Amino acid sequence: MNLSIGLELADNDEAIGIVVPALGIGNYSCYSAADDESEIIPMVKEAISLILDDMSQNSPELVSKISDLGIRNYRTNEDFEDFNNWMVLDYDLSPYFGKQKRINISLSEGVLKTIDSVVESRSEYRDRSHFLEVAARHEFNI
């Protein structure tokens, strides 16, 4: 899922503030900080992981309700007015949706061959099942 990330860039001697607005759901919010630009991605990934771990354990129903409204929306939201730079991070939420369940489905040979070809040629897909899960989440906007 693409997550909008707000950055509060201050003076050189101050930390960079980080917010992930889409994770502000229920009683949760996702903030972090980085001392320099090279730490932004690792710090935001750690913050997202910690929030999602807790959410999946204590409020699993919220994970499927996570929705990113997009940078344009957040930039004009007064709750995030201090965040003067924005970026998008692709983050895999699938590990937080609970245990996997094995199912049996039928697909035409042509569709199956196309899926297998895409999985083989693109490293973002671990396997056929991962491809189908990503496609379904995309279709459901989760």
In the prediction, which pLDDT does 39 show? 95
Among residues 41, 135, 37, 98, which one has the least CA distance to residue 127? 135
Q: Distance between CA atoms of 58 and 61, rounded to whole angstroms?
A: 9
Give the per-residue pLDDT at 50: 96
Q: Which domain holds residue 141?
A: 100-142
> Which pLDDT value is given to residue 139?
81
Predicted confidence at residue 141, as pLDDT, reads: 66
Same domain? For 68 and 108 the reply is no
Q: Are residues 59 and 128 in the same domain?
A: no
Low-confidence ranges of the chain (pLDDT < 50): none
Whether residue 132 sits in one domain with residue 65: no
Are 77 and 48 members of one domain?
A: yes
Tell me how many domains the chain contains. Answer: 2
The answer on 111 and 91 residing in a single domain is no
* Environment class of 123 (CB within 10 Å of its CB; exposed 0-12, middle 13-18, buried 19+): exposed
Same domain, 24 and 51: yes
The label of the residue with tokens 């490293």 reads 123
Distance CA 93, CA 82 (A): 27
